[in-house]
Amino acid sequence: MDILKFKHKKLQEWIAKMAEMCQPDNIILIDGSEEQKKQLQEEAVYNGEIIKLDQEKLPGCFYHRTHPKDVARTENLTFICTKKKETVGPNNNWMLPSQAYKKAGQYFKNAMKGRTMYVIPFSMGPVGSPFSKIGVELTDSIYVVLNMLIMTKAGNAVLEYLGEDKEFTKCLHAKAELDSEKRLILHFPEDNAIWSVNSGYGGNVLLGKKCLALRLASFMAKKEGWLAEHMLIVGIEDPSGRIEYITGAFPSACGKTNLAMIVPPKALKKKGYKVWTVGDDIAWMRIDSDGGLWAINPEAGFFGVLPGTNKNTNPNAMETMRKNTIYTNVLLKPDHTVWWEDGDGPAPAKGIDWLGLPWKKGQKDEFGKTITGAHPNSRFTAPIDQCPSHSYRREHHHGVPVSSIIFGGRRETLAPLVFEAFDWQHGVFLGATMASARTAAQYGKQGEVRRDPMAMLPFCGYNMGDYFTHWIKMGRSMWKKPRIFMVNWFRKDEKGNFIWPGFGENLRILNWINLRCEGKVDALKTPLGYIPKYEDIDMDGLDFPRKDWDKLFVIDKKEWRKEIKEQKEFLGTFGKQLPKEIWEEACAFEKRMKK
């Protein structure tokens, strides 16, 4: 085995050490060239790792199935490894670094025998920007390499930037045997390292994404005074040309990608509203010299949910994935194109499902349940700049100014369509007590409501009590604070139907949010916060009567009192680490609801 030579000594030594443990047959450097990418695609097609789709209908597109027991992030196998257990808080699984290295080391040992180790130098954010972070991922999966080439800026330019001694995150990944019993996703914030073994799925293995850009970055952000958040970033341009940028945190599979590329309803488009997509999953935010908060998206691609995505719900996503896209865990049609539930067009008569089994339309399992062709967490990986609404500002190293932050979740009852926090501290409380129904993006009981503060429960790399304190401090350091809002597109009526049409129509709500930020519209005060007046929402082209609107804003005080009890119980789990300001907000809310 010949080891590549690098002028960066630490990089050289680290690769040698990891290769010594994993024993790959050879080592290949990912240079970021089109030529090498094509070669890797061919090789992966040849060895069956990916399937080439119809290159006329879907140019540059490929298909991949992950192991049936490896189709979503596994939070129970994800650990933050620090010297002290208190550092990670009740929100994380913890392991002592020495133990973690030892345990995973057994699984990595000889894991790449007979395989190639790929070395991927990558940048989260523009290469060379002071706000970007560099990582190097070692992996034995071409699927991972091809995804990283879309999701990050990877290749020679990054290596050059690293020079002889610049800092980078050491990321090690091996599929190994894909054994779910031996799967571990380990983070070492004190060593700036990540080890992931026995998985081949998304957030578990594209180590720049959740592992670096959220878990490790949140840890760094706390120290350095910025925010690393699970947020979309979108700009809304009004007919006068003014653009307001909104960032939004919703838990996994709760609508970030959709909102990031929202298409204005016809009547609003005609008036001149435009949308600018900056990011759909992660935002890094810093306070700039103007006293405001500025956001960048450290990613270069989307890793988006497919079921439910179609020409009507998200036309920009459909356009984005027409070429150079990797489709994971969907139905493969006989003509080598793909299909998923609630996608475009009727279900095909037959195909090969996400498990790799022959599939027929309407086929039921032994319990009479319809067998889906695509896994509910099936996804597409596509470059952001293929999105028709992508923002030219995405490449600016300082990002875009944030006017408002929205928090949201999937609540069938209780939570109104939208309301505004009284101030920053109240907004932090709203984020801290957010809850949402569990989706297919994580293992666990689907539909169960769980607390997911700022949609960061699975991604905050340290004690969330300290994280709330950090948020409060950030507010104090800004003299141009974004306003904070809560939204819920998912409230249902007695019959179980969504009351609000959602998707593109959500722009009407974003417009109200922007008017609030510009001080152009007043609102109604409720115990929850400020809610819009029906007449202040532009309903042009939408038949949405007042009686339905009112259903979206019913405040059931009895149910809310139950909710407050649960909120307080949850906040209590952070013990003395919980900032007193948040507890005071909870008590104040309780008092308002008693009146």
348/409 with CB nearer ligand GTP: 409
Q: What whole-number distance in Å separates Cα of residue 309 and Cα of residue 315? A: 8
Taking residues 22 to 41 in sequence order and writing x for each that binds ligand SPV by CB under 6 A, - otherwise, the string is: --------------------
301 near ligand SPV, rule: CB under 6 A: no
C-beta atoms surrounding 317 within 10 Å:
26
255 near ligand SPV, rule: CB under 6 A: no
CA separation, residue 375 to residues 51, 329, 332, 378, 437 (Å): 17, 6, 12, 5, 18
Which residue reads 């008693």 in tokens? 594
Which residue reads 């690098």 in tokens? 6
The pair of three-digit structure tokens given for residue 265, joined into one six-digit string: 């309803």
Which residue reads 């030579």 in tokens? 5
The pair of three-digit structure tokens given for residue 571, joined into one six-digit string: 């906040």
Question: Which helix or strand (DSSP H or E) is residue 418 part of?
Answer: strand 418-420
The pair of three-digit structure tokens given for residue 527, joined into one six-digit string: 């115990």
Q: Which of residues 255, 315, 408, 416 is near ligand GTP by CB under 6 A?
A: 255
For residue 353, what is the DSSP state? Answer: -
State the greatest distance between any 2 C-alpha atoms of the chain, in Å, as a whole number. Answer: 74
Taking residues 259 to 298 in sequence order and writing x for each that binds ligand GTP by CB under 6 A, - otherwise, the string is: ---------------------xx-----------------
235/304 with CB nearer ligand GTP: 304
Q: Which of residues 140, 281, 452, 585 is near Mn ion by CB under 5 A?
A: 281
Q: What whole-number distance in Å separates Cα of residue 557 and Cα of residue 70? A: 42
209 near ligand SPV, rule: CB under 6 A: yes
Q: Which amino acid is at 412?
A: E
Q: How far is the CB of 155 from Mn ion (least distance, A)?
A: 25
**Annotation marks residue 587 as catalytic:** no
The one segment of 40-48, 202-210, 355-363, 467-475 that binds ligand SPV by CB under 6 A: 202-210
Selecting among 171, 211, 254, 460, the annotated active-site residue is 254
* Residue 203 binding result from Mn ion, ligand SPV, ligand GTP, none, given CB thresholds of 5 to 8 Å by partner type: ligand SPV
Q: How far is the CB of 444 from ligand SPV (least distance, A)?
A: 12
253 near ligand GTP, rule: CB under 6 A: yes
254 near ligand GTP, rule: CB under 6 A: yes
Which residue reads 């995150």 in tokens? 169
440 near ligand GTP, rule: CB under 6 A: no
Query: Which parts of 136-216 fold into alpha helices (H)?
Result: 142-151, 156-162, 202-205
Which residue reads 């027409």 in tokens? 322
Tell me the helices (H) and strands (E) count for the chain, helix number first. Answer: 16, 31
The one segment of 109-117, 174-182, 201-209, 396-404 that binds ligand SPV by CB under 6 A: 201-209
441 near ligand GTP, rule: CB under 6 A: yes
Which residue reads 């790929």 in tokens? 118
**Contacting positions for ligand GTP (CB under 6 A):** 250, 252-258, 280-281, 304-305, 307-309, 313, 441, 489-490, 498, 502-503, 506
Interface positions with ligand SPV (CB under 6 A): 73, 202-203, 209-210, 252, 281, 303, 441
Tell me the catalytic residues. Answer: 254
